[in-house]
Chain A
Amino acid sequence: RKEVEQDPGPFNVPEGATVAFNCTYSNSASQSFFWYRQDCRKEPKLLMSVYSSGNEDGRFTAQLNRASQYISLLIRDSKLSDSATYLCVVNPDKLIFGTGTRLQVFP
């Protein structure tokens, strides 16, 4: 089993839609969780950290479920500019990236 698993997608959604991604992790000792965004042929950039109580940043909401060992990212009111690959990152000791979920928002 991979340490961090994501549905690769692609998720094709219309503008304005709400879309959610999940990411499961295997190491119960993981302490830090993040979502990164990667545009085509660019380096990954931090989107948001994931806090135990859940957190929101504008249209983006991140949640952590320790019991089931997954984190989620919800994007509301999708924009064309949200089209990218979303990578979850888990830190038991070193930062492990999931393979990413590709999102394509269409007009």
Chain B
Amino acid sequence: GAGVSQSPSNKVTEKGKDVELRCDPISGHTALYWYRQSLGQGLEFLIYFQGNSAPDKSGLPSDRFSAERTGGSVSTLTIQRTQQEDSAVYLCAIKRGSGANVLTFGAGSRLTVL
């Protein structure tokens, strides 16, 4: 959606390789979320960043997953040693403005692990 740009839009990789997925949000957002959506499934919360607080990593499925947000803006989700079950669409979303709990999503990065 407008205000959140994700790249790559599609990524095909081999099992065991590392991948980086990027989220470039509009400036002024107050929080940034990563979700994962497997085929035909709902959104699975992974991690969120808010202000300068420590990120809530409670949704990361394993220690192969990590994320960072640099300069309070661009965020990168890294998956190490990818597995076939990591195949999904990875969605980044932001909250805009204080007190607003509405999320604006990016178009997602579709990851396929062969």
Measured CB to CB, the residues of A under 8 A from B are 6, 32, 34, 36, 42-46, 49, 87, 89, 91, 93-100
Determine the distance from Cα of A87 to Cα of B35 in the docked complex, in whole angstroms. 14
The interface on chain B, measured as residues whose beta carbon lies within 8 A of the other chain's beta carbons, has a size of: 18
Q: Are B45 and A99 in contact (CB under 8 A)?
A: no
What's the least CB distance linking A22 to chain B, in Å?
Answer: 15
Say whether chain A's binding surface is mostly helix, strand, loop, or mixed: strand
B102 contacts across to A, CB distance below 8 A: 34, 46, 49
A44 contacts across to B, CB distance below 8 A: 43, 91, 103, 105
| Interface check B27, CB cutoff 8 A | no
Determine the distance from Cα of A57 to Cα of B58 in the docked complex, in whole angstroms. 35
Count of CB-CB pairs between chains A and B under 8 Å? 45
| Interface check B65, CB cutoff 8 A | no
Determine the distance from Cα of A95 to Cα of B58 in the docked complex, in whole angstroms. 12
Q: Mark B77-101, 1 if CB is under 8 A from A, else 0.
A: 0000000000000010000000001
| CB pairs A–B below 8 angstroms (15 shown) | A6-B42, A34-B101, A34-B102, A43-B1, A43-B108, A44-B105, A45-B105, A46-B103, A91-B101, A94-B45, A95-B45, A95-B48, A96-B45, A97-B45, A99-B42
Q: Are B33 and A98 in contact (CB under 8 A)?
A: no
Q: Are A87 and B45 in contact (CB under 8 A)?
A: no
Contact for B41 among A34, A45, A93, A99, CB less than 8 A: A99
Determine the distance from Cα of A95 to Cα of B44 in the docked complex, in whole angstroms. 10
